[in-house]
Amino acid sequence: MGKDILFLQFAQEDSHDNTLLNLNNGLSNVYNECKKIGDFYWATQFNNQSEMGKNELPIKKGKVYVSAFYYPHLLQTYYWAQKYPDIEFNVGGPVIRSGNYSGQDLPVNLNLTNKNAEEVILNKNTLSKTWGIEYPKEYIKGKKAVRFTYHLDHRCYWNKCIFCEGYTKDLNKGLNNSIDNLKINDNYSNLKKIIRLNIPSITPKFLKYELPRLLRRKDIVYDFFLRASKEIIDLLPEVLKNLEEGNGPHPSQLRFVVGVEFPSYKMLQYMKKGIEKDIILRIIELAKDYHISLGLPFIYGWNNLSQTDVDEAVEFLHNVEKIGHPNTESVLFKLEVYPNTSLFSSLKGCLEPLKKYIFDNGEHRVVLNAEQYLLNEEFKNALINSRLNTVLYDSTKLGYIYTND
């Protein structure tokens, strides 16, 4: 230490698996350049508000650049800013990108930015080619796996879903990173690395041309969002066959996250998802055949469900159970409506503000009448009681809540 500039990222033990360490490595893109001007520092994510800000930082004055993935990261920094008035805190990352904090009463030494790290730290608008990660030695003792992200792009090639805005801003300024910059630290070959290839949705082009160029290694799992669309299913069987035959990573090194949202024909059309239930089922079958683990995100909290939608969605869950892919985890999110989305405009008058800890950043929930509440609960309970290993996600609290423990 000693340069009075810190690059601060958060790490936390997985709440479900204490042998897995989650690293929120948002500053990896600029790793080598940052090393020249300051020090990297891993901070523990506290979920309990009373503990936040109590931990000491290794500097008392200077600048701290913070990568905030979740609300506890922002809140923790808010407390540090009050505790260390001689430090200027500059916070970026997904939490800042998805919210609107204008009008919030923040400490004067706490700056929030939705710019790329290159622009904020290096004052340049071009992509850094010096990706790197240093595992926090003191945190990985006793761990079998680490999960971290490799940022490819923040633009979505689909960019139509009515509830989504967090990933579609700055369409002309995507990072468009290349997989060639991904360097894995080989000093830790005993540690499994779960790498989230961070892009809102993998493009057909990436699936066909880039995926086969990734490393085939037993200690790596590549995890990414895959749309259940026609253009993807037209390619996927052949891509997986080629991978199995030795071109690129083995299929069992992959993890697909396939957004299901609310699986009725009417609701998928309403959301403009551009996906089909039958294609989701086909992808699940392929994942089972090739031993690919699966994440299935669902969303509830809609105000326009009919009993037919719920019956159709429950039937879909039964169909997934029938496929019987053992390595499936579903995550249930409660709908959050972001400003600047078409969903927000269309639901004006039916929304209530959603406060996240002390922050009121423009997000809302849909107000549900008694009938809609019961229909949403019926779907939620069907999912929780299914054999799909359901996790509830609550962004206003601690994040993931495991229901099948």
The number of CA neighbours under 13 Å toward the Cβ of 164 is: 19
> Interaction with ligand SF4 in 49-88: which residues (CB under 6 A)?
none
Using CB under 6 A, pick the residue from 158, 224, 300, 344 that binds ligand SF4. Answer: 158
**Helical spans, DSSP H, in 106-235:** 117-121, 137-140, 204-205, 230-233
Residue 392, token pair as written in the block: 């509830």
The nearer residue to ligand SF4, 107 or 297, going by C-beta atoms, is: 297
Residue 298 within binding range of ligand SF4, rule CB under 6 A = no
Please say whether the beta carbons of 354 and 396 come within 8 A.
yes
Q: Which residues pair with 40 in a beta bridge?
A: 7
Q: Based on the shown chain and the rule CB under 6 A, indicate whether residue 359 belongs to the binding site for ligand SF4.
A: no
Binding piece for ligand SF4, criterion CB under 6 A, among 79-87, 116-124, 159-167, 308-316:
159-167
Binding mask 186-225 for ligand SF4 (x = CB under 6 A): --------------xx------------------------
Among 10, 150, 167, 206, binds ligand SF4 (CB under 6 A): 167
- The nearest distance, CB 149 to ligand SF4, in angstroms, is 15
Specify the pairing of strand 110-112 against strand 87-92.
Answer: parallel
| Interface with ligand SF4, residue 164, by CB under 6 A | yes
Which distant-in-sequence residues (6+ apart) come within 8 Å of 398 by Cβ? 15, 47, 72
Give the start-end residues of each E strand in 82-191.
Answer: 87-92, 110-112, 145-151
Does 227 engage in binding with ligand SF4 (CB under 6 A)?
A: yes
- The correct pick among 104, 130, 159, 319 for binding ligand SF4 (CB under 6 A) is 159
* Contacts of 371 by beta carbon, 8 Å cutoff, 6+ apart: none
Count residues binding ligand SF4 (CB under 6 A): 10
3-class DSSP assignment, residue 151: strand
Tokens matching residue 171: 């369409």
Applying CB under 6 A, among 43, 121, 161, 214 the residue interacting with ligand SF4 is 161
Under the binding rule (CB under 6 A), the answer on residue 283 touching ligand SF4 is no
Give the interface with ligand SF4 as residue ranges (CB under 6 A).
156, 158-161, 164, 167, 200-201, 227
